[in-house]
Amino acid sequence: MKISLSIGANLGRRAATLRAAVRRIAGLPGTRLLGASSFYATAPWGKTDQPPFLNGAVQVETSLTPLELLHETQAIERDLGRVRHEHWGARTIDIDLVYAIDGTQVVRSHTPELKLPHPYLLERAFVLEPLKELAPDILLEGRSITSWCEKNAGQGVEKTNELADPWPLQMIACVAKNRGIGKDGRLLFHIPEDMEFFKKQTKTDGSVVIMGRKTWESLPHTLVGRLNIVLSRTIWNAQTNFKAPPLGELSSASETERVAAFEVRDPSERLSMAETALPSPPLRGTSPKGGGLRAGDGLSEFLEQLWNNQPGRPFWVIGGGTLYRQLLPYTRRVLLTEVDATPAADTFFPALDGFCCIKKRPAETSGVVFVEYLRKDICYRV
């Protein structure tokens, strides 16, 4: 059964919460994510004395019944901080089932708990416009979705540049047969063909590379032509020459010579891109000399701003082991240079249980293969 859902939020970090909701929906049992739309800025509907919304659409294929899916999405709403105070009121997250097809038949439900198709589907541009992005050929009550969108034009719905991809990260690494990637703070392999592959993949327009402190310290110099983001649990010292630019400069060409530094203030804090409705993300932006990033800026907020300045720019995670492991839940694609050798290692790349291999290419170097992995719980690419 294919089911279309509408998602929206007008409180807290709206885009982050919507991305978290999509990840949760994709992870439901018996469910595969067919598509997730861009985000749309929307004037309030029904109750207008509240902040503007950010809306999107999600389409899934699922073995769950519509009622079972409803209960699962209500649990997701609660987990992400939804509290139901008033009808059509402000909310941290809203997930509605709006349309379902079983084979070729439209699913209809008219119970007090669930009504399908959604009774306001044909009246809400903030539902129709994102849904049109995912299913442009869909017919609603005998008319094309484009026709319904035209009928509801003028409701203040506008596509935004907000980061909508629930998995915006890509990873790249060179790994041994035992998944080892390093020892004593240094890479296991220095293969010229792999180095060229790394440069070709990561040095593209607007590229951002995210790394841990040890990875940064192992580099002979800043990765030129890319914005370097360094994450650390330690206090910066005089030997660590970070230069964090003011956020206002990040859209300029000078960012390719810059390094943005993030410090985890409490060493016990988990290094992550946790995206919830909580007011303070665990990562805090900092500059060793007091300038640059505003205190309290989290990594995901920072990436959002970079994306908004230049939509479509790639975000690469390049090491080390802890960072790979903790950012993997936010990663769509992994590129590995796999080496047929097992040197001693103390740092390892995490298992890719949630990914499938989609491409292999032997390198010219003997015993080396370039392999591409893609997240399994989605079947579309952006």
pLDDT tens digits for 100-109? 999 999 999 9
Residue 88, pLDDT > 70, answer no
Q: Give the residue-averaged pLDDT of 204-229.
A: 86
Contacts of 282 (CB under 8 A, 6+ apart): 264, 269, 270, 271, 272, 274, 298
pLDDT of residue 271: 36
Residue 326, pLDDT > 50, answer yes
Q: Which position has the higher pLDDT, 57 or 154?
A: 57
Label residue 234 by pLDDT band (50, 70, 90). low
Label residue 239 by pLDDT band (50, 70, 90). very low
Q: What percent of the chain has pLDDT over 70?
A: 77
Residue 263, pLDDT > 60, answer no
Q: Give the residue-averaged pLDDT of 224-247.
A: 57
Q: Which residues participate in catalysis according to the annotation?
A: 82, 91, 94, 96
Which is nearest to 126 in space by CA: 8, 223, 251? Answer: 8
Spatial separation of the C-alpha atoms in residues 287 and 363, rounded to whole Å = 40
Spatial separation of the C-alpha atoms in residues 11 and 147, rounded to whole Å = 31
38 neighbors 130 (Cβ within 8 angstroms): yes
Instruction: Write out the two tokens for 299.
Output: 């990594």
Q: Give the residue-averaged pLDDT of 314-341.
A: 94
Label residue 279 by pLDDT band (50, 70, 90). very low
Residue type, 214: K
